[in-house]
Structure 1
Amino acid sequence: MGIEHTSTSGLWAGVDVGTQSLRVLLVDDHGAVVGRGAGRLDSHRSGTRHEQDPEQWWQVLGHAGRAALADAGRVLPRPAGLVRGMAICGTSGTFLLAGADAPAEALTPALMYDDARAADGWAGPGQPSWPLAKLAWLAEHGSAPVRAGLAAGRVRLEHCPDFLAARLVGHRVATDWSHALKTGYDPAALAWPAASAVPAGVLPDVVRPGTLLGHLDADGAAHTGFAAGTPVRAGMTDGCAAQIAAGALVPGSWNAVLGTTLVLKGVTADRLEDPAGAVYSHRHPDQGWLPGGASSVGAALLDRRFPAADRARRDAAAARFEPAGGIVYPLAGRGERFPFVRPDAEAFEAGDLVDDDDRYAAVLQAVAYVEKLAYAHLRRLGARVDGPYYVTGGATRSRYWCQLRADILGHELILPASAEPAFGMAVLAAAGEGPLVSAAGRMIRPGTVVTPRPGATGRFADAYARFLDALVERDWIDAGLAGYAKDVPLVGASGGAA
């Protein structure tokens, strides 16, 4: 299929720095992707540590940027001159420390979002994998120059997009309030906490996503192939970028990303307060909030229990078990984070599963039950959950699983035309400091709709109730939430605590 291109008035570059790869997309004013480039990233794991080399980010960005321009050059003359701006997203909570004299020179490896070296003994705010905990670890266990620099405030914390943007424009840049959230930034007060133990000068200035950070200098242009002077704008985390790409940007709309794990992100007019700590909220670039949560359930258990499985055959076999003969909680590891917080939670099975096909069906259904419970929890906190519901992530390759999720939720699902985080960053670059919703409305194309099958939601009602009861029996959720989740349909649900 050839590339459809509807406008030559402008192109927008979106960059997504993930765990395994860096991707660059060039998108026109009407949402047509005209150029793609990508490169592999290496991760280094040792025990609880997970690191990447920031210099590799920079090298791969250069290769991927040139590859995207070359791809666009097949349909456009001199595409570099058409690029009107770019924005970058990275994994939430990934950071490094850079020196004061050379803002883009890394003094540490990048400590990744799931690096758990600070888990033992951390009693401060946020989770031990978040940057503040790892900053405290570096202050005690880092190299001598890092410890001294932190103590004197002579080093600077940079999130992944900050590091790359500074290299591109040739000077220090502010971070955005999305990447700053897990570093301790208060998005309501729009300020770092006054009582922060981090020395002044270590934490960066913070701006709204879409804010102009600078323009590509000669070195940045030579490295990437983009034209000198191209605007570089503040981005958002990869989860928020995927939410933008899906189009879930108005209250009531949600994006569920299902891959190794399940992540829900939506929009509310007011910030949700979750005493259990399962839900946290980014600030919307326009107005309102982007609440969400990350469960530990997902396709990871399928990969572990059914390695090298023929997923199409398994899906067809699973369709014979609706509902499955038993209940499972599909954790691949220990601990659950959303829609409830239980660090001690472990996978379980209950009931009469007759064979592996039945067990496979139970896992697919259980992920959808967790998803349905998550929406009930969000509604109970006061969120609108009436939709639309967008679904993204690797699991959407299974159309049967998409259909099953629609059936169990009792709500139609939309598979976006382009769900890549890099696409979301292209939309943010196009919006700039103007309304993000307007740019999204212009660039995001309609997706494929999956409608619940008649009668299917009721067919799973008893199994869903047994699933909730099993969570109550283990004291993972309270009976009030279970009763609420059983009684409240999602269709037409407009929020309100109970």
Structure 2
Amino acid sequence: MWMGVDLGTQSVRAVLVDDDGAMLGSGAAPLGGGRDGVRHEQSPDEWWEAVRTAIGGALRDRPPGPVGALAVCGTSGTVLLTDGEGRPLTPGLMYDDGRATAEAALARERGLRVQPTWALPKAMWLLSRHPASAGVRLTHQPDHIVSRLVGRRTPTDSSHALKTGYDLTADAWPHEKLAGLGLAEELFPDVVRPGARLGEVGADGEAATGVPAGTPVIAGMTDGCAAQIASGSLSLGSWNSVLGTTLVLKGVTAEPVHDSTGVVYNHRAPDGGWLPGGASGVGAGALARAFPDADPARLDGLAPAHEPSTALAYPLVSRGERFPFLAPEATPFLLGDPGSAADHWAALLQGVGHTERLCLDYLDHLGAPQDGPLTFTGGGSRSAYWNQLRTDILGRTVHIPRHSEPALGMAVLAAYGAGAAPTLADAAKRMVGLSHVLSPDPARTARFLEPYLKVVGELERRGWLPSPVATHARTRADSLETS
């Protein structure tokens, strides 16, 4: 039995699966937090209590026998400060907290290619308000949970360390550059590759969660990478689109995808190769914001009457965009007046699809291969209507896995890290199943082409989308339409 734990934006999810990926148990617990403009924080103590609840649910009806191993993923770029005993000194600054713009600019001046929402500038922002003292450490979201399970401070994984400035090519912290920012070496954790063994669940961890003491704890990855593992998209040229509160695309390449803007960044795969991708600020969170009390199934049923919608949306969840362009000043927009709530709902669904298409066009602009399968995962993939809509907007075949959650990806990684399979791809092949395949409707793809190009034009007009990228999107649309 293998366990995976996912620290999401709105909840914690834990699953227990067998060697074939069959679900033996699952549990979940909600997360709160505070949003106010560009501010987005959560309580590390709340993370721990939610993890305890979720794991308890996953273990409630498990069959007899040991848990082979577990792994934990978290939101990419979420960071806090802890003391020498691992106790939180600050709230967790979430993946999209946008208060560290000045710190990001300073880091870039020192040669570190970071975005304002990455963990390094946010850690700098925290340190400016909580000056470093003996024992203070920068801690990523899952590290805080793992240390409590194990009972001591553990290394971080290189996947979460990426947005804290870790150099994956050199496999080392760039301490000379970090020192130029006033950041001492002792602030930073040791780093291991995902899939490495971090330790075992301790007595206190067992008492708090019910996971047997001695259970191996395996170094995890970010939630986007975890969802990619859960999708089974681990062959060269394959891509996984994770639609949750926001949108994340992850692919598999033999070499890093180079992007001078830093919009696309590259994780290192647990067993070699590269996992390039980017994280957009659009997603299902925009639906929850616009329709807090909606019945999604009912509105999905009404949305086909509004294809395309009378309004054009760029449905950012909060201020700032990170992919397919970098624009900290970007704000969500809705052009035109929706004729009804269903029309507005349709505009938001379509807006996410248009952004997803632009993300793939941007990856093509960078020369990233896309000749492998495309998979949809994340909470948004539970909507059959939205899946087909996105498939038609993109105009390409899409694979839907049997289970699409990052927690499953962590269970697969735990099995690989514990030695149950020679490669991560082998573990995923055995444990990840395909639900069905969606094919695009050429007529609907053509119907959504004009709205897509209008979105591209509006983003370019506002100065957010670089003109060469907009031109490439138009050229690619012409070539695909001709073919």
For the 8 Å contact 1:411–1:491, the answer to whether it is kept is: no
Q: CA deviation at 1:479?
A: 4.5
Residue 311 of structure 1, CA deviation:
3.6
Shift of 1:205: 0.9
* Secondary structure in structure 1 of the residue aligned to 2:287: helix
TM-score by length of 2: 0.87
Alignment counterpart, residue 155 of structure 1, candidates 136, 149, 155: 136
Paired with 2:336 and 2:212, the residues of 1 have a C-alpha distance of 62
Q: Distance in 1 between matches of 2:42 and 2:409?
A: 24
Contact 2:79–2:122, Cα closer than 8 Å, also in 1: no
Aligned twin of 2:107: 124
Change (3 A) 1:207 1:490: farther
Give the 5 Å matches for 1:47-86. Answer: 49-72=39-62, 76=63, 78-79=64-65, 81=66, 83-86=67-70
Question: Structure 2 matches for 1:314-463, cutoff 5 A?
Answer: 314-325=299-310, 327-350=312-335, 357-432=342-417, 434-463=422-451
Q: Decide whether the 8 Å contact of 2:375 with 2:401 is kept in 1.
A: yes
Q: Supply the distance in 2 between the matched residues of 1:116 and 1:282 (Cα, whole angstroms).
A: 22
Q: Which residue of 2 aligns with 1:249?
A: 234
Task: Tell me the residue number matched to 2:211.
Answer: 226
> Per-residue deviation at 1:377?
0.8
Structure 1 portions without partners, runs of 5+: 1-10, 493-498
Please list the CA deviations of residues 91-144 of structure 1 after superposition, one character each: whole Å capped at 9, or x if unmatched: 2222333333x3x333444333334444456522423333322333333321xx
User: How big is the shift at 1:350?
Assistant: 4.9
| Residue of 166, 182, 186 corresponding to 1:185 | 166
- Of 104, 123, 127, 1:135 maps to 123
For 2:367, what is the secondary structure of its paired residue?
A: coil
Q: How much is the aligned-residue C-alpha RMSD, in angstroms?
A: 2.8
Contact in 2 for aligned 1:409/1:490 (Cα 8 Å): no
SS at match of 1:71: coil
Q: How much has 1:14 moved relative to structure 2?
A: 0.9
The answer to which of 19-28 and 127-136 deviates more is: 127-136
Partner of 2:60: helix, strand, or coil? helix
- Residue in structure 1 matched with residue 111 of structure 2 by the alignment: none
Counterpart for residue 2 of structure 2: 12
> Partners in 2 of 1:36 and 1:484 — Cα distance?
44
Distance 1:213 1:351, change over 3 A: closer
Q: Which portions of structure 1, spanning 4 or more consecutive aligned residues, are displaced by more than 6 angstroms?
A: 489-492
Deviations 1:264-293 (A, max 9, x none): 111122111122332112111122211112
Equivalent residue number for residue 87 of structure 2: 105
What's the TM-score once normalised by structure 1's chain length? Answer: 0.85
Partner of 1:164: 145
| 1:44 to 1:475, Cα distance in 2 relative to 1, 3 A | closer
Q: Comparing 283-292 with 424-433, which one deviates more in the overlay?
A: 283-292
The answer to whether structure 1 residue 23 and structure 2 residue 13 are counterparts is yes
Does structure 1 retain, via aligned residues, the 8 Å contact 2:37–2:318? no
State the partner residue of 2:256: 271
Identity, % of aligned positions: 52
* Change in 2 beyond 3 A, CA 1:476/1:109: closer
Residues 326-384 of structure 1: CA deviation (Å, up to 9, x unaligned) = 54433354332211222333344556865554444333323212211111110121111
Answer with 1 or 2: which has the greater Rg.
Answer: 1
Q: Distance in 2 between matches of 1:423 and 1:236?
A: 12
Whole-angstrom distance in 2 between the partners of 1:285 and 1:270: 14
- 1:244 Cα deviation from its structure 2 partner: 1.0
Contact conserved, 1:257 with 1:263, CA < 8 A, in 2?
yes
Unaligned runs of 5+ in 2: 109-113
Question: In structure 2, what is the equivalent of residue 5 of structure 1?
Answer: none
Would you say how many aligned residue pairs link Structure 1 and Structure 2?
467
Distance in 2, Cα, partners of 1:248 & 1:333: 29
When you count helix as a share of all residues, which structure comes out higher? Answer: 2
Distance 1:226 1:451, change over 3 A: same
| 2: CA distance, partners of 1:385 / 1:369 | 18
